[in-house]
Each structure stands twice: as C-alpha cells, then as structure tokens.
Chain A
Amino acid sequence: MNLIRPYGDTLNDGKVQLSFTLPIPDGARALEAARELVLKWGFKECEIVHSAPLSAGFTFFVAYAQTEITIDFDTVVADEASKEAPMTMDETDDFIRQQIGRKVIIVGACTGSDAHTVGIDAIMNMKGYNHHFGLERYREIQAYNLGAQVPNEKLIAKARELNADAILVSQVVTQKDIHLHNMTEFIELLEAEGVRDKFICVAGGPRISNKLAIELGFDVGFGRGSYADDVASYIVRTLKERLDHPRI
C-alpha cells in the first residue's frame, strides 16, 4: 500500500488549486455559491481566493481546497504505448540496420476535414519538435507526410502504393467527437480492403490516448507530450516482432 494525496506544503495535506466559471453575477452570494459547490464536490475545506465578473452574467473564481481522498499508487497501471523507454534517433537507426535490414516505410497524415498539420509535422518533419528530430531525419526511415485534410481512402491508397510498414493518423480537432468518426472509418476501410494486418496503425493527437486508439482498432495511440522518438521506437520494435512471428 502506498496511499497518496496532493501535496501542498506538507505531506498528504491534500491541497489543490481550482479555477472555474459560474453563470451568475459576481457578489457575496456568488462567492458563497462557489464555495458550497466546491464542498459538494467532496472537498473538506474551500477558500475562494479570487472572483471577477467575466460579463454581465458570468463570474470567474480561483479556489483552494483540501481533499481527503487518496489513491494507492501501487495499484496504478499506466496507459502507455510501450513499457520500454524510447530509443534515440541513432539507436533506432542502428536497430533498423541490425534487426530489420532494410528501410522502414512510414506514411502519415492528418485525416478528414481536420486542417491542423501541427501534430503530424511535429512527428514527421525533418525539424521535429522541441529538439526531437522528426521521422524524415532518420536515415533508415522513409517518411511520407501527406499533410492535412487527407481523406482516409487517399491515405490508405498511398500506404498500399508505397508498401508502407506503418500508417500514422493524426487528429487534432476533437470537437463533437469528429475524431472518433474519422478514426473508426479509417480502420473500417482497411478491414474492408482486407489489409488491416499489413500495417502498424498508429493514432496520435493531443487528446488521443493509447486506450482509446486500441479500442478503435489501432495498434497504438500517442497523446500529448509524445515525440518522434516514441513513435519510431514503437514502430520498429513492433515491426521486428511481426517479422519474427508473422501472423498467419
């Protein structure tokens, strides 16, 4: 057992900071409403340290509160794409040379109506993101970034044409769950064409979790804070495994 709570300035004091907006005008009643609401959420103490009117009928609050709820850290299992630490770019290139013996082909796009290239660019562009080089920089990887607003059909056709090992699907916009529709359609199309098992299917985006991606039929999902290192390491390791143990 390893029971933990948030740490303010003393172990297990359970202090948290909150900020939120209520659709009411500012004033003494608003402050009390905010405080009582926080207590109703199960916090034991609450102090509203700041309030400000946002517009005629809305007020913003900053609150500090204390919780007694704990979690047993020993029982927590992470939702991670891989338990192994990612390899660096050079390690991945070495791995490909030694274990796979040919170039690894990866095709990626931001699919559907989503126009945001920022995610797929961060993973694929030469430059990469935040000092993590992108897949185009890897000597042993042939990376094809098709950009944004790419229909699922086109992405799959390109992957088949290039005989790709892996397909990356980036989804940034998640308003009204459009990403779920897009990702589901992608897997359904692969299955309809009978080529789902030909590719390692990787989903990514700030609100994509590994769990969600797997539920939708992908092999893996990478969320916020993932870099090309994570994606490349996963792909080459999985590819090696598949080459060693081909599915029938």
Chain B
Amino acid sequence: MRKKLGLSQDKIDEARALSKQICTPVLEFIDRHSSVTVERATLRLAGADLANEDGVPVPNLVVQQLASTPDGLEGGALRPYLTAMVKTGLTPEALNQKIADGLKLTEFSPIPDRDLELKAGQLIDRAEARIQKNRAFRKEKQAEGKNHDPLLYLIVATGNIYEDVKQATAAAEQGADVIAVIRTTAQSLLDYVPYGATTEGFGGTYATQENFRIMRAALDEVGEKLHRYIQLTNYASGLCMPEIAAMGALERLDMMLNDSMYGILFRDINMYRTFVDQKFSRMIDAWAGITINTGEDNYLTTSDAYEKAYTVLASQFLNERFAFAAGLPEHLMGLGHAFEMDPSITNGFLFELAQAQMAREIFPNHPLKYMPPTKFMSGDIFKGLAMNSLFCFVSKATGQGIHLLGMLTEAIHTPFMMDRYLAVENAQYVMNAMAGFEDEVEFKEGGIVKTRAAEVLDRTLAFLREIAQKGLFESIAQGDFADVKRPKDGGKGLEGLIAKGDHYWNPFESHLKRVLHLSDGSANEGGLQ
C-alpha cells in the first residue's frame, strides 16, 4: 500500500493517543464488571448447551438460578456449574440434560478450589483443542484455495436455515468468498440465544449454534468443490454479543459483525452493558481467529454521509482501540465504512474515493469492510446498478479488504438469486477492468481528494478532543454520535450488568487473557503473536 494523500502522521498519532485516553476509563469500568451474557458465554465455552421444554437455554437456566440466590452472580456462573459437574461426575452433556429437566445447582455444597481448578482445566483444554483445530483447518484451506481481493461478501436472509443453505451455496458458486446469514429482526433484543435449527424468521434467520453448524457444513462442502474457502459470518451484536461469539468460535465462523457502540446507538442497549459485552466477545473472536466487522456504515444511513464523515473515522479509531484492548490483532479488524453519499452531489465519487483512501492509509493493515449504497437506492434498479459499479470502483481503487456486494434491488426485496449473480458479475467486471488502477494513480496536490481527506481528519481530531474532554459515556449521553442521545442508565439490559465480587471466578476469562497477553484495565495492545 503506497500512501498518496499526504496525511499528517502527527495528526494520526494524536488521534490514536486521544482514542486511548477516551477508552482507558471505559476499559477500567469493563474490567470490574461482568454481565449475564458474559457468564452465559463462559458456560457455553465450558460445554453448557441445550434448552428445556419451554425453550429456555441451559446457560440461561443456570444464570437465572444463581440470580435468585443472596450473592447473585457476583461470583460468576461457572463455579456452581462445575461444582455440580464434579459432584455428580457427569459430562457437560449429561449435566445439561439434568439442568434442562430441573436440577437445582444451588443445592450442591461447595467443593475444594483445587477440584474446581482441575475440572476447569480439563474443560479449558477441551475448548482450546477445538479452537486450535478450527484455526488450523481454516488456515490450511485458505492456503490451498484462492479468494478474490477484496473478498466478495454476500448476504442470505430467508428465515429458514435450509433455504439459506441453498441460497448460500448458489452465492458461493457465483463467486462469493464470504456468506453472512442475516439475523431475524428481533434477535438483537433477545437476552438469550435460541436453541436448535430454525425455519421461521422475519427478514433473516435466528443465530443458533445448530444453524451455524448446518451452514458451516454446507459452505465447507461447496468450498471443497470450488477449491476456495468460503467464510461464514454472523452478528455478535445486541444483548448476546459474547454468546454469539462463543458459538461462532466453537463452530468455526470466520467473521462476526461486532461494534463497540452499535448496540448502544442503534438498538438502545444500555451503554455499560454493551461495553462489557463487546470486550469479552472480542476476546473470544481474537482467540478463535475471527475477523470482526465494525458498524460505522450505520452512522451514514442515519446521518448525512458527507457532513458526518468524521464520525466514521472517529468511530474507527475507537473501535480499533477497544479491539486492541481485547487482544485482536490488526489483521482481524475489519473496520467498517460505507459508500452512502447522496448520488446527486457533484464530485460525490471523489469524496467517496477520498474517504476510502483515507481509511486505507490510516489503517494500513486492517481488512477494511466496505458497505454498499443503501440509503439512496430506489426502485430504479438500473441506476442502482450504476451506483454499485462506482462503489466497486472505489473499493478496488483503494484496496478495501471486505467488499459487501450491493444489490440492484436494495430497498425493494430481499435479494433474488439473480440479483446476487448480477452483483458478482458487475464487481468482477469492474475490478478486473481496473485491476492495476490503485498502483497507477496519484492524487493532485491541493486537489479535491487530498483536500477532502485532510479536512475529514481535522474534523475527526476536533471531535475526538471534545469526547476526550467529556468522557465517552457523557458524549454518548449527549448525542454526539449518530444524533441519538442515550442516557447512561437508560436502554435495555442494564439489569443484566454484574459488579464482580471479591470471589469472582472465571477461569476461561483468565485463560483468554493469558493467551492473548492482556492485563487488567489496560488499553494497551495485546494479541496473539
């Protein structure tokens, strides 16, 4: 990647320093807290699964039982689960069945710490082996086959996992490198993850561990045929961020939508809860080699893409800092942005080019996730295709990493099979026809592109300074991001936040911190080397 914009490295360094200053107090808060879903994710990593007759998942049953004890959840949820496992001598699978049938974990008397540690060690080894096997398999398959550059990313969203499999298989055959199974509309606000294969959803399909498994197997099969590893994506967002990440880690998902602030701003989830949840989910992602995709595109669908471009860059800096603090290396940070400017703006293409090139130069080792036009897509599918062509052009011209293909029928219906075909064909045409463009072209001194990029960086710096002064919690409360105000104690899920007690015990968290080289309260870079 050659730098062409002449951006001030001092300003970029200052923005990173400010981001660290902004995130540090938040990270200190995070380390003193857990949440119901962090506990449930931990249980899942230890082997908790299954649901009772009413569809309540076992991890939720365990957490609910503890919540009604005097000490609540301040000691974490793993101790009673493992105590029951040791005392009964059952496997996690057999214990899950007992819990689903009504076994009360609170009735077991305590066991010595060394017995707990021994059992935890066995379960961590079991999980670690599975994660390492997944990572090795992914690495081997990716080395064997060849993917597009940027990766072509397609979404399926039928509501029925078996129908999704057909659509995803067809999409892979057409050229997709990444398949995302979009979730049913209400799932982000469920404080549990449904169990089993599902065939009913609205605007998408439930994320369940069984659905992950079904899609993973289908994509492995078609990938084998195509000699190309097909990555699978889901959404670690909403009230169950770490649980979705845990399930994805176990079932070898490759990417997770995972933003440090999306839930707060766009789903009205409590800010403290989200910050706590995002960190543990990202630690799991880092451990499992899952690439996160951040959600800056959402700023632009709600606010004006030209005027609010600086909020995207500011959010990218903050997402990067929170990701470092969770042990994610740069090459797993798919920082997001989007081609969402009003198509009637004169030179809009140049402004998009400036923004995308700027992101590329400021985040040189990150596989940037570039989102297509949606806001100004209309029923005019012909113009829509033309807009998508320009989007493809910018993506290739600036070396983006993950290219979400735009649909000419965006804003009309969930994509038809032929809509995806036209999108892939269009992208392949554009990107092949201009394959060497990035290397050929320089930008004019004092021209539109360089000037615009410098302006956006300046506005971003000013914005970050303002946030650093107020603090991030206060800044969100005042509506500095995406024009929405989120009170600190408002939003969904606050009741699920847990202050860690003196006896808080989470050996999985400790294990992750160890392998990711993380220390408490630190905004410093960890990461698997």
Contacts and interface: CB of A to CB of B under 8 A. Distances in A.
Interface of A: 19-21, 52, 54-56, 58, 60, 113-118, 121, 125, 127, 130-131, 147, 149, 173, 175-176, 178, 206, 224-225
A55 B174 contact: yes
28 contacts: A20-B418, A21-B418, A54-B173, A55-B174, A58-B170, A60-B418, A60-B421, A113-B185, A113-B186, A113-B202, A114-B185, A114-B203, A115-B186, A115-B188, A117-B302, A118-B301, A121-B302, A125-B302, A130-B342, A130-B376, A149-B185, A149-B189, A173-B202, A173-B203, A175-B202, A175-B414, A176-B202, A178-B202
B265 to A, nearest CB: 11
Contacts of A225: 378-379
Interface of B: 159, 169-170, 173-174, 184-186, 188-189, 200, 202-203, 266-268, 301-304, 342, 344, 375-376, 378-379, 411-412, 414, 416-418, 421, 425, 483
A130 B377 CA distance: 11
Contacts of A173: 185, 202-203
Contacts of A127: 303-304
Given A21-B416, A175-B203, A54 B411 contact: no
A58 to B, nearest CB: 6
A206 B411 contact: yes
Contacts of B418: 19-21, 54, 60
Contact of A55 (B170, B301, B302, B411): B170
Given A147-B268, A175-B203, A176-B202, A21 B417 contact: yes
A20 B342 CA distance: 30
Given A54-B174, A55-B173, A117-B302, 14 more contacts: A55-B169, A58-B170, A58-B417, A114-B185, A114-B203, A115-B186, A116-B185, A127-B303, A130-B376, A147-B268, A149-B186, A175-B202, A176-B202, A224-B378
A43 to B, nearest CB: 20
Contacts of A118: 301, 375
A149 B412 CA distance: 21
Q: 5 tightest CB-CB pairs across the interface, nearest first?
A: A113-B186, A55-B170, A55-B173, A173-B203, A60-B418
A131 B425 CA distance: 33
A175 B344 CA distance: 31
A58 B207 CA distance: 28
Contacts of A60: 417-418, 421
Contacts of A58: 170, 417
A229 to B, nearest CB: 17
A149 B492 CA distance: 12
A120 B417 CA distance: 29
B contact face: mostly helix, strand, loop, or mixed: loop
Contacts of B425: 52
Contacts of B173: 54-56
A157 B304 CA distance: 31
Contacts of A56: 173
A148 B49 CA distance: 31
A224 B159 CA distance: 24
Contacts of B188: 115
A116 B418 CA distance: 25
Contacts of A149: 185-186, 189, 267
A8 to B, nearest CB: 16
A54 B202 contact: no
B412 A206 contact: yes
A21 B170 CA distance: 13
A15 B315 CA distance: 51
A149 B186 CA distance: 8
A56 to B, nearest CB: 7
B192 to A, nearest CB: 15
A132 B186 CA distance: 30
Contacts of B267: 115, 149
A130 B342 CA distance: 8
Contacts of A206: 411-412
Contacts of B301: 118
A56 B379 CA distance: 30
B266 to A, nearest CB: 8
Contacts of B379: 224-225
B22 to A, nearest CB: 26
Contacts of A19: 418
A225 to B, nearest CB: 8
Contacts of B304: 127
A113 B414 CA distance: 17
A21 B203 CA distance: 22
B407 to A, nearest CB: 14
A149 B187 CA distance: 11
A200 B167 CA distance: 42
A175 B421 contact: no
A224 B413 CA distance: 12
A54 B176 CA distance: 12
A173 B143 CA distance: 40
A19 B425 CA distance: 16
Nearest to B188: A115
A94 to B, nearest CB: 27
A124 to B, nearest CB: 12
B205 to A, nearest CB: 11
A30 B200 CA distance: 33
A52 B418 CA distance: 10
A21 to B, nearest CB: 5
A52 B202 contact: no
Most chain B CB within a 10 A radius of its CB, from A19, A56, A113, A121: A113
B159 A175 contact: yes
Contact of A176 (B159, B186, B412): B159
A7 B203 CA distance: 36
A52 B417 CA distance: 12
Contacts of A131: 344
Contacts of A21: 416-418
